[in-house]
Structure 1
Amino acid sequence: MGRFLATNVSLILRGFPRHYCVGQASKTNLSQLRKRTGVPLKNCRAALQKCHNNLEEAEKWLKEQAQKEGWARADKLQSRPMSQGLLGLIQSRTGATMIESNEVKNSNGMEKRGLERAVDWVKNNDLEIGTIVTDRHLQIQKWIRENLPETTHYYDVWHVAKGLKKKVLATAKQSECGQLSKWSRSLTNHLYWVATSTPNGDGDLMWAKWESVENHVHNKHEGHNELFPSCAHGMLYGDERKKKWIKPGSKASEKISDIILSNRMKRDIPKLSPLYQTSQIEAFHSTVNHFAPKMVAFSYYGMYCRLIVAALHFNENTSRVQAATKEGNMQFKISFPKFKHGEYSVRKRTVDSTYGYVTSLMTETFTSMEASVDATSPHQPPVSCLPEIQPPPLCSNFVHPEKSEAVQHFRSRFMRKETPV
């Protein structure tokens, strides 16, 4: 799933809806609908206009929209800093659908809901899912096991390696276990090798290879098991032989053996993905952070459009080639990722990003404007691609104090807010 949004750019900027072309809602019905549902006035007004000022039909329609969009859970996520709770996009013929944090109980549930919608989209387009790669999210594991029994489920290697490294470094801080920190990198490298050296995804062989590292760290390189009897590195010479091997029977030996042979690793190692990983999704999330920084709150439509533009930018630049000097030498760069705690990484330097999609968007925008003004224009008029109404922000169901009273509390040096027990 390297491409996250493959849709005509005309679906993005054509015709943002400015109003609803139906009758005006009466103030009485508007007030009653607001009291019955608790939905913001602009949505109540839109419902009444859509239902021709019929109060019962408008209430029924709002409840259906609330259940569909997840408005009813807004009051359960008061601690969330996001204004709209937008998570991601799923390709569709008419634009994109969004997943909001107020549809579910917590952020963990958002991942599961996103997977459900993605799978529904795939099935609705008459496609079958043969293999799916995710992290070790427990709810997702259960959902895939129950709803996609014929699909092969693999785990992303990076997420498993990340958890392994954390456990090893945490154990290394204990007394008599300091030497384990020297082995964290070797163990994570071996984990990647276990997956990539088994392209057929044989889980038993993966576990046999991983189990062998427990002997390796104790300077034992033969007699591991039937499927993988000896290490694949060959004879060790010089500095390789002088490694700080772990002494059998020591506290460090017991701790590292418990980590390597733990029940969690026995379940996860056989399900490591041998080919595809979720790194493309992580890269897309990084691109989204440039177009929609987390420290800034955007409107619903603003966030919607920013995610689409981020997807366009990612799709155009995801396959950039490696940069070269004038002499033709390939260029590399050294970086110090935060998660490596001072260790460096060597990466290929790619060519600069391109922004061809901007020209396409501008062309489509001006073409749509001309078509909307000139009735004789051969171009099609703008087509609305945004959701018909906006769901309320997460704070819409909060108790709002009177502004004058709040200001008085703020200005007074004597009055103190009562702290609830």
Structure 2
Amino acid sequence: MDVLNEAIMDVDTSDSDDEFELDKLIHDIFEESSGEEEDNEVDEGADSEQKEERKIHDMWSGVQDSDEFCLLKDRRFMVGERELLQLLRRSTCQQCEGKIDPSTIHEGEYIAAGIKYKFKCSNGHPGKWISTPFYGGRSFVHMVMQLMVILSGGSWERFSLGARFMNLAVGSATNFYKMQLQYRVAIEKFFLSHIQSIHKKLGGIPLSVAVDVRYDTPGFSANRSTAVFMDTSTQFIVHMEVGDSREVERHSPRMEKLLVERGLSFLVNGSPLVVWEVVSDASRTIISIMKTDPYKHLQHSLDVWHKSKKLASTLADLAKRSPFKELLPWIRSIVNHFWWCCSTCHGRVDKLLHRWSGILSHINNKHVWPGGRCRHPEGCEHPEGGSWLQRDSKAFKELRKIVTNREWLGTMKYYTNCRQTWAVENFFSHTLLHYCPKQNSYSYDAYNIRNMLAVIDHNHHKEREVAVGQDGAPYSQAQVSRRTKQWVAYERKRPKDFSYIPELMSACMQETYGRPLSTFSNSKKAMDLKTLQPNLSGKPNPGSKSLLAQMKGRKQQLKPQQL
């Protein structure tokens, strides 16, 4: 829109013929032909397109009237070069209102993600036209493109590659990564303010915090990792820690201990939050941390889903063997019984153990025994396709070994609250994976701000309502579960509104205003890590030319000698 407005400013409004030609040109640019056949094509998807435009407009409708917001909320369109030149040829001089000489129109100096035209009118007066406004001496459209890539979790390489396919000017990758250094400062300030607001909202309330660690690559060769601490009740992420393998001498598994200790120390000693319970998976590292002095006063719970999965896997491996096939129909019932025991023991480990051992009587068709009884309704039948087990059968004896295993019973104290970490894992699998794909490698600062953006995204959109149709029924989506191979249905949530984006984009723009590129630098943490070990080898780079020459020399030695 800025492109058209600035060009239309030069048009002589007193000339009715020129006005008619200009209106026709604008209609041609936006494909608003008056032909019946073309009208039908445009109107075919008009309703859906208008809805999408309204969603975009809603994001910017309530922004403040600052210089940054005034620039940001203006609509932008993609216009072809030929149409721009046609518009310039129909323009007039601002000094004498004379016609622009088409033969004098030529491109001026390079502008990132934009274009500058210079020309003269019929009376020789020079003029110019620029396709983008400027902010702080920089191309505003170029800045918006850069922020679009960063804040949406995209990749500049993929975006620029797609732009090449359509011959779209978007600027250089070098400038993008240089500007990202300063955008980082604004994102870090915004993230800190966001987390402080979460702490203020939850301060003074006893919290049960789930923690899990995610590595940037699978296996034991990870360079960076993320520890997320989430309130299990509200599912707000209350803290995040990012680690680098250089902090632990390139031993990736040690990062879990470093990040969990650092995060717990902050939550317990440096934040206004009151933490009474920590929930994690069955990591031996975290279990040992929770037994140390600073944290052993906290309740430690393990994820009951992982324990149930291990139980089901153990029973399934046993049921594959011929003497124990009788256990196969009972696996689901035994796992469900474990869940029921954890959810109804009310924090008492003795009650959990008592009810858990009752499965050995129930599976023998004995529902009342000395000191206990089954809680199901009378007339309960055995699972479909199965039968009651006899106490002298091999299947029952093996099941009794599993149920009464000393190591298994010794861990029951971690499951008395029936906690899960699924919300953290869901954040890793969806939101964080979008902002930090594992197939991409990022610098420390880039990885850090992308994690921050993922946390902000999650906390702002975690309470989205279910999308409903015109009849008021929720939208549902069916798919096949990869684990159970069964059809399951999910309710579709409303699209994310990203209401925080205008404020964040404005903050990023203000952080770069009037500052030269030479002053943009990495964070202090990133620079400290470079001093520890600049690369995996621990040695300085000998130069690509030297390495290439050595490689070619080795290949030459491997070639067979010519006779």
| Pairwise same-fold verdict (TM > 0.5) | yes
Are residues 1:103 and 2:236 paired? no
**1:201 CA displacement:** 0.7
Question: Matched residues in 2 for 1:414 and 1:350: separation?
Answer: 62
Question: Matched residues in 2 for 1:398 and 1:119: separation?
Answer: 35
Read off the aligned partner of 2:548 and give its amino acid letter: K
Are residues 1:294 and 2:435 paired? no
**1:394 CA displacement:** 5.5
Read off the aligned partner of 1:260 and give its amino acid letter: V
Counterparts of residues 45-124 of structure 1 (less than 5 Å): 80-82=220-222, 84-88=223-227, 97-104=241-248, 106-122=251-267, 123-124=269-270
Which position in structure 2 is the counterpart of 1:139?
A: 285
Cα offsets for 1:81-115 (capped at 9, x unmatched)? 44x32334679xxx965222343475543322222
Question: Matched residues in 2 for 1:14 and 1:188: separation?
Answer: 49
State whether residues 99 and 110 of structure 1, in contact with CA within 8 Å, keep that contact through their aligned partners in structure 2: yes
Question: Matched residues in 2 for 1:97 and 1:192: separation?
Answer: 32
**1:203 CA displacement:** 1.1
Q: Note the residue ranges of structure 1 that are not aligned, 5 or more in a row.
A: 1-10, 18-76, 374-381, 416-421
Inter-CA distance 356–12: structure 2 relative to 1 (3 Å threshold): farther
Moved over 6 A (4+): 382-386, 398-401
| 2:365 aligned to which of 219, 234, 241 | 219
Which position in structure 1 is the counterpart of 2:312?
A: 165
Q: Which moved more, 1:177-186 or 1:328-337?
A: 328-337
Are residues 1:366 and 2:509 paired? yes
Greater relative CO, 1 or 2 (CA 8 Å, sep 6+): 1
State whether residues 195 and 273 of structure 1, in contact with CA within 8 Å, keep that contact through their aligned partners in structure 2: yes
Which position in structure 1 is the counterpart of 2:402?
A: 259
Give SS of 2:296's match.
coil
Question: Matched residues in 2 for 1:96 and 1:176: separation?
Answer: 50
Cα offsets for 1:144-190 (capped at 9, x unmatched)? 11222321111111121121121111112222223433333222222
Give SS of 1:86's match.
strand
Question: Matched residues in 2 for 1:120 and 1:190: separation?
Answer: 37
State whether residues 301 and 386 of structure 1, in contact with CA within 8 Å, keep that contact through their aligned partners in structure 2: no
Give SS of 1:129's match.
strand
Q: Which moved more, 1:175-184 or 1:342-351?
A: 342-351
Give SS of 1:322's match.
coil
Inter-CA distance 408–344: structure 2 relative to 1 (3 Å threshold): farther
Q: How many residues are aligned here? A: 329
Which position in structure 2 is the counterpart of 1:326?
A: 470
Read off the aligned partner of 1:293 and give its amino acid letter: P
Question: Matched residues in 2 for 1:85 and 1:140: separation?
Answer: 18
Are residues 1:395 and 2:536 paired? yes
Question: Matched residues in 2 for 1:345 and 1:212: separation?
Answer: 32
Inter-CA distance 385–15: structure 2 relative to 1 (3 Å threshold): farther
**1:12 CA displacement:** 6.7
Which position in structure 2 is the counterpart of 1:342?
A: 485
Q: How high is the TM-score relative to the length of structure 2? A: 0.51
Q: Which moved more, 1:312-321 or 1:364-373?
A: 364-373
Cα offsets for 1:305-356 (capped at 9, x unmatched)? 2111111111122222233332223444444443x34245454432233333
State whether residues 211 and 260 of structure 1, in contact with CA within 8 Å, keep that contact through their aligned partners in structure 2: yes
Give SS of 1:180's match.
helix
Question: Matched residues in 1 for 2:524 and 2:486: separation?
Answer: 45
Inter-CA distance 129–237: structure 2 relative to 1 (3 Å threshold): closer
**1:16 CA displacement:** 9.4
State whether residues 14 and 384 of structure 1, in contact with CA within 8 Å, keep that contact through their aligned partners in structure 2: no
Inter-CA distance 236–320: structure 2 relative to 1 (3 Å threshold): farther
Read off the aligned partner of 1:359 and give its amino acid letter: P
**1:237 CA displacement:** 5.3
Give SS of 2:527's match.
coil
Cα offsets for 1:166-221 (capped at 9, x unmatched)? 111111222222343333322222222222223x3111111112111222233322
| 2:354 aligned to which of 205, 208, 211 | 208
Give SS of 2:340's match.
helix
Q: Which of the two has greater strand per residue?
A: 2
Question: Matched residues in 2 for 1:412 and 1:250: separation?
Answer: 70
Inter-CA distance 330–192: structure 2 relative to 1 (3 Å threshold): farther
Question: Matched residues in 1 for 2:477 and 2:379: separation?
Answer: 31
Read off the aligned partner of 1:165 and give its amino acid letter: A
**1:268 CA displacement:** 2.1
Inter-CA distance 237–275: structure 2 relative to 1 (3 Å threshold): closer
Read off the aligned partner of 2:226 and give its amino acid letter: L
State whether residues 382 and 388 of structure 2, in contact with CA within 8 Å, keep that contact through their aligned partners in structure 1: no
Inter-CA distance 326–255: structure 2 relative to 1 (3 Å threshold): farther
Q: How high is the TM-score relative to the length of structure 1? A: 0.67
Question: Matched residues in 1 for 2:380 and 2:187: separation?
Answer: 69
State whether residues 334 and 346 of structure 1, in contact with CA within 8 Å, keep that contact through their aligned partners in structure 2: yes
Cα offsets for 1:235-269 (capped at 9, x unmatched)? 23577687433333222222222222212221222
Counterparts of residues 222-241 of structure 1 (less than 5 Å): 222-223=368-369, 226=371, 229-236=372-379
% identical aligned pairs: 21
Give SS of 1:176's match.
helix
Alignment root-mean-square deviation, CA: 3.6
Question: Matched residues in 2 for 1:252 and 1:398: separation?
Answer: 60
Read off the aligned partner of 1:201 and give its amino acid letter: G
Question: Matched residues in 1 for 2:475 and 2:523: separation?
Answer: 42
**1:282 CA displacement:** 0.7
Inter-CA distance 109–273: structure 2 relative to 1 (3 Å threshold): farther
Inter-CA distance 90–261: structure 2 relative to 1 (3 Å threshold): closer
Read off the aligned partner of 1:141 and give its amino acid letter: I
Question: Matched residues in 1 for 2:256 and 2:414: separation?
Answer: 20
State whether residues 292 and 303 of structure 1, in contact with CA within 8 Å, keep that contact through their aligned partners in structure 2: yes
Question: Matched residues in 1 for 2:464 and 2:187: separation?
Answer: 33
Inter-CA distance 90–150: structure 2 relative to 1 (3 Å threshold): closer
Give SS of 1:368's match.
helix
**1:396 CA displacement:** 3.5
Larger Rg: 2
Inter-CA distance 90–235: structure 2 relative to 1 (3 Å threshold): closer
Inter-CA distance 358–142: structure 2 relative to 1 (3 Å threshold): same
Which position in structure 2 is the counterpart of 1:248?
A: 391
